[in-house]
Structure 1
C-alpha cells in the first residue's frame, strides 16, 4: 500500500501514525502524481494494484502541476543572492510563502491517499487545485448499507508545519468551533451538494434535506511534521483538546500524523519525485 498506517485509540480520538518506507514510496509518488494531474481514477487504480489507463493531459496542465510542486521560484533565489536589500527582504518572504503553500498542497494529496486507504468505499472530494485555498481541505461521505442514505459526513483539515501544536491550537480548533456554531453551514452545504452529485442513486437535494447534519458530522485532522515533535514516543500532544473542542463520540474524531526527519526537507524531496513522475506520465 502507498502508506503504512499504525492506528491506536486514545481518549481524544481514533489516532494513527502514518509512514512512508522505501518499499511503498514509488507507489505513493505515482498515486500523488495522478492526483495532481486530476486523474483520480488512475490514482485509485494504482492503490488497487491495477494498471493505469493512458490519458493525455490537456493544455498546460503538466507545466502548471510542476510549477505548484516547485518552490522556491528561481527568480526569487536569484534576488535573494544579488538583489537590493529591499528586493532580498521581499524575495525572502515570497520564498517562505511558496514553500509553505507547496507543502500544504502536497500534504493534502498525501492525506487523501490515507483517507482512501482507510475508507475505500466512501466518496471523497479530490484534493484542492489551487494553493492556499480557503475553507475545508476535504469532505468524506459514507452511505448506509443500502447506498441511499448518508451515514456520516467527515470534514477534513490538513496541516504541514514545523510547529504543529501552536498551529492546531490557533487555527484548527477555532475553525471547528465556527463549524459547530453553524457559522459555516452555507459553505458546507455548497461543497456537500457538489460531492453528492457524483454519487449514483443519490438525489443531492433530498439527501441534504433529510440528513440531520449535527447527527452525522465528524472531524478528521491530519498533520505532517518533524520527528523533533515526538514526545514520550508519540505525537498525541499535537491533538490535545480535540475532544473538548469537537465533542461527540470517540469515533467521530480522527487524527493522523506523518512525521519526517525534517518536514520541509522531506516534503521538498517528495515534491521533486512527484514532479519527475508527472513528467514521466505525461511523456515530457
Structure 2
C-alpha cells in the first residue's frame, strides 16, 4: 500500500498517526484514478483485489487534468489542498476499512466539510459516531491549527452547522445497506456523537513528539471528552509544494496513459 502509519499521541489530549508515503508511484496512480472519477474503484482496490478497473473515457481526461493542475504555479494552494484531501481519504480507508467514508470532492476549494467518516459497530451494524475531518496542506501548520481549525471545531461543537452535517450524513448513509438513516442521523447530530480528525502536512518543526505536542496544543479545550474524540494525523514533507507538484505531474501522466490505452 502507498501509505504506512506510525502511532503518535500526547497522553489523554489526542492520539493519531504519522504517515509515511511508501510508494509515490502507486499513490500517483490512485490519485489519477480518483481524478478520472473512479473513487469507487479505488475504494474497492484498497480493500480487496481481483476485479477489473473501469475504462476511463477521453472526455474524463480534461477534468482530471484540471484537478491536477495549478492555474498559477506560484499559488498552487487549491490544487495541493485537493490532492491532500484525496491522500487523506486514501489513508482513512487504509486505517478504518469498516467506516463509511464520503468520497472526495471533485472541485477545488469545496465549501463543505473536508471529510466525513461514519463509524459503524462491526457486531451490531449500528452507527456509533461521525468523524468530522479537517484536512490541510499547509506550510504553517501551527497557524492553520490555531487560527482556523480550532474555530471550525468550536463551531461544530456549538451546532452552528448542524443542518449541513445532517444533509451530508443523510446522503452518505443512504448509500449503505441495513442502516436506519433517520435513527443514525438523530444519534449523530442531535445526541452529539461527534469525533474530530485533523490531517495536516508538517515540516521539521513538528516532526517529533515535542513539536506535535505544540502543534495540537489546545485540542482538548476545543473538543472535550474522551481522547478517542480527538484524532491527529500528520504527513511530514521536506518541501511540500515541490513534492505536490511532482506528484501531480506523475498523476497527470498516468491518467493520460490510462485514457490512451482505452481509445
Task: State the distance in 1 between where 2:65 and 2:48 align.
Answer: 25
Q: Deviations over 1:139-183 (max 9, x none)?
A: 111112345421111001100111111111111100111111111
Q: Does 1:155 align with 2:132?
A: yes
Give the root-mean-square deviation of aligned CA atoms.
Answer: 2.1
Partner of 2:8: 8
Structure 1 unmatched ranges of 5 or more: 78-94
> How far off its partner does 1:249 sit?
0.6
Partner of 1:44: 43
**Aligned residue runs from structure 1 range 160-171, under 5 A:** 160-171=137-148
SS of 1:162's equivalent in the other structure is coil
Greater Cα shift, 146-155 or 47-56:
47-56
Provide TM-score, normalisation by structure 2: 0.90
Question: Contact 2:35/2:64 (CA < 8 Å) preserved in 1?
Answer: yes
SS of 2:200's equivalent in the other structure is strand
Q: Does 1:243 align with 2:214?
A: no
Greater Cα shift, 34-43 or 224-233:
224-233
Which has a greater percent of helix?
A: 1
Question: Contact 1:27/1:46 (CA < 8 Å) preserved in 2?
Answer: no
Partner of 1:188: 165
Q: Look at both structures and tell me which one has the larger radius of gyration over its CA atoms.
A: 1
> How far off its partner does 1:276 sit?
1.4
Distance verdict in 2 for CA 1:52–1:280, change over 3 Å: farther
> How far off its partner does 1:212 sit?
6.2
SS of 2:56's equivalent in the other structure is coil
Distance verdict in 2 for CA 1:53–1:34, change over 3 Å: same
Task: State the distance in 1 between where 2:180 and 2:48 align.
Answer: 32
Greater Cα shift, 5-14 or 195-204:
5-14
Task: State the distance in 2 between where 1:261 and 1:252 align.
Answer: 29
Task: State the distance in 2 between where 1:115 and 1:64 align.
Answer: 25
Q: Does 1:173 align with 2:150?
A: yes
Task: State the distance in 1 between where 2:153 and 2:191 align.
Answer: 13
Greater Cα shift, 3-12 or 203-212:
203-212
Q: Does 1:66 align with 2:43?
A: no
**Aligned residue runs from structure 1 range 8-157, under 5 A:** 8-11=8-11, 12-21=13-22, 24-48=23-47, 50-51=49-50, 53-58=52-57, 60-73=59-72, 95-96=74-75, 99-157=76-134
SS of 2:34's equivalent in the other structure is helix
Distance verdict in 2 for CA 1:229–1:149, change over 3 Å: closer
Task: State the distance in 1 between where 2:127 and 2:4 align.
Answer: 29
Q: Deviations over 1:6-54 (max 9, x none)?
A: 0122132112111113xx2222222222222221232134324625523
Matched length = 260
Task: State the distance in 2 between where 1:182 and 1:218 align.
Answer: 14
Partner of 1:225: 202
SS of 1:135's equivalent in the other structure is coil
> How far off its partner does 1:188 sit?
0.3
Question: Contact 1:138/1:157 (CA < 8 Å) preserved in 2?
Answer: yes
Q: Deviations over 1:182-217 (max 9, x none)?
A: 111001000000000011111322322355644421
Q: Does 1:276 align with 2:243?
A: no
Greater Cα shift, 131-140 or 145-154:
145-154
Task: State the distance in 2 between where 1:6 and 1:136 align.
Answer: 26
Question: Contact 1:228/1:261 (CA < 8 Å) preserved in 2?
Answer: no
Structure 2 unmatched ranges of 5 or more: none
